[in-house]
Amino acid sequence: MTELVSKWNYPTTVRFGAGRISELPDALAAANIKRPLFVTDPGLAKLPVVASTLKLLDDAKIQYGVFSDVKPNPVGSNLTAGIEAFKRGQHDGVIAFGGGSGLDLGKLIAFQAGQTRPVWDFEDIGDWWTRADSDAIAPIVAVPTTAGTGSEVGRAGVITHEETHTKKVIFHPKLLPAIVIADPELTVGMPPFITAGTGMDAFAHCIEAYCAPGYHPMADGIAVEGIRLVFENLPKAYANGKDLTARAHMMSAAAMGAAAFQKGLGAIHSLSHPVGALYDTHHGMTNAVFMPYVLAFNRDAIEERIARLAAYIGIEGGFDGFAKAVLKLRKELGVPHALPDLIKGLDMDEKRKELIADMAIVDPTAGGNPVKLTQKAALTLLDNSIAGTVPGAAG
Ligand code: NAD
């Protein structure tokens, strides 16, 4: 029997609801931030959603700086430049505004600006986070504009180490924002590809957390409801970006995925991280590609759990019915079925495959997979996802 011993951490204060971005000045005061650095990505920086948010700060006479040198899949040099901006402007906190890229980089600037060790020393390995000076971490107000990563309620930030081409997960309990404004109106401008990819990211978080071994019934409950919300609302948000109800439910599902994945993630993420780092693919969309292959690989270990999940959502046919529903959902959302459909002109020789498999098995998420992810298994999963072959799937 699984030991009934675990450690639970639950999200932070979330001001949830359409229009609540207007509370940003109040949230800053509540988080004791007087001179925020507003961190976002350059694409968003050009959109009206940023202009109207900055106007709220102007109207409230808040002195702020803006930093937007943030790549999708942010890299170490973005962090260095962001810390310089933070120090130059004598900021005392961060507004992390955006999808996972803007959120993570904003969170990491607030975390790292006062540290003396390199950020890589705080990778999510063992108790490395205790190396950080907790008192030197600036407060964070997070404002998500995508509904996927759930980074707004997470205690981690993901950043690519440029020299080694590896995505590193940096962890510290104080990377958790003090306050979140989750306003679904901010997500209506997301183009369909990003809506689909980010929504599938929320799904991947929930399903991997739910399947991860370990005792965490709260995470399991959250994951199951998160998956139901994705099945019911992601196709609606994809078909009509202005459907605010669907957008709101997806925003919840995203936060739920991140709350749930403190239980663990698995091979979807272990494969997605190296592929994202090497090919700069969208994280959620890459997860979506790998999902059916990994579910099939884990089948023996998760069949019963997935049958329970399917029954809750109202999907008939147990594991097989669920696996079919995943394929149908992907198709509806235009998710590429095989890796070469995601990465055009993909030419992966054996050496490259071995590199990805090697990176996957040491990724911190690999330990959460319900079946041990060996190098051989990772290679098989890669081969299947390149060929588009889902073992056991009919038709
Ligand atoms: P993203 O932040 O990279 O954004 C993708 C694109 O969407 C960008 O071009 C951005 O400008 C645009 N965009 C964002 N919001 C928009 C809006 N409202 N309207 C129009 N365009 C908009 O994408 P993402 O999927 O949210 O984040 C991916 C990043 O998050 C990756 O780096 C990934 O590794 C990381 N991640 C972090 C965690 C975590 O726990 N911290 C979890 C999962 C993923």
DSSP symbols for 99-141: SHHHHHHHHHHHHHTT-SS-GGGGBSSTTGGGGS-GGGPPPEE
At residue 165, the pLDDT reads: 86
Q: What is the pLDDT of residues 321-338, one digit of tens each?
A: 999 999 999 999 999 999
- Alpha helical stretches, state H, the chain: 24-30, 42-45, 48-59, 76-88, 100-112, 192-211, 217-239, 244-260, 267-279, 283-313, 318-332, 339-342, 350-362, 375-387
- Looking at residue 139, its amino acid is P
pLDDT-based confidence at residue 179 (cuts at 50, 70, 90)? very high
User: Comparing C-alpha atoms, which of 109, 92, 117, 183 is closest to residue 146?
Assistant: 183
Q: Is the CB of 144 under 6 A from ligand 1?
A: no
Predicted TM-score (pTM) of this structure: 0.95
Domain ranges of the chain: 13-187, 192-387
Topology of domain 192-387 in CATH is Dehydroquinate synthase-like, alpha domain (1.20.1090)
Q: What is the pLDDT of residues 98-156, one digit of tens each?
A: 999 999 999 999 999 999 999 999 999 889 999 999 999 999 999 999 999 999 999 99
| CA 368/CA 189 separation, integer angstroms | 34
Q: Is the CB of 287 under 6 A from ligand 1?
A: no
Radius of gyration of the chain (CA): 20
Question: Best mutation site among 49, 149, 166, 287 for ligand 1, i.e. most ligand atoms within 8 A of its Cβ?
Answer: 149
Q: Is the CB of 45 under 6 A from ligand 1?
A: no
| CA 168/CA 119 separation, integer angstroms | 10
Contact 277, 223 (CB under 8 A): no
User: Comparing C-alpha atoms, which of 17, 12, 135, 158 is closest to residue 75?
Assistant: 158
| CA 275/CA 295 separation, integer angstroms | 18
Give the nearest ligand 1 atom to 102 CA.
Answer: 2
CA 288 to the chain's CA centroid: 12
Instruction: Give the DSSP letter of residue 294.
Output: H
Please tell me the distance between residue 279's alpha carbon and the centre of ligand 1 in angstroms: 16
Q: Is the CB of 72 under 6 A from ligand 1?
A: yes
Q: Please determine, looking at this structure, whether the domain spanning 13-187 carries the CATH number 3.40.190.10.
A: no
Please tell me the distance between residue 141's alpha carbon and the centre of ligand 1 in angstroms: 17
Would the pLDDT of 277 be above 80? yes
Please tell me the distance between residue 4's alpha carbon and the centre of ligand 1 in angstroms: 35
Please tell me the distance between residue 40's alpha carbon and the centre of ligand 1 in angstroms: 10
Q: What is the pLDDT of residues 61-94, one digit of tens each?
A: 999 999 999 998 899 999 999 999 999 999 999 9
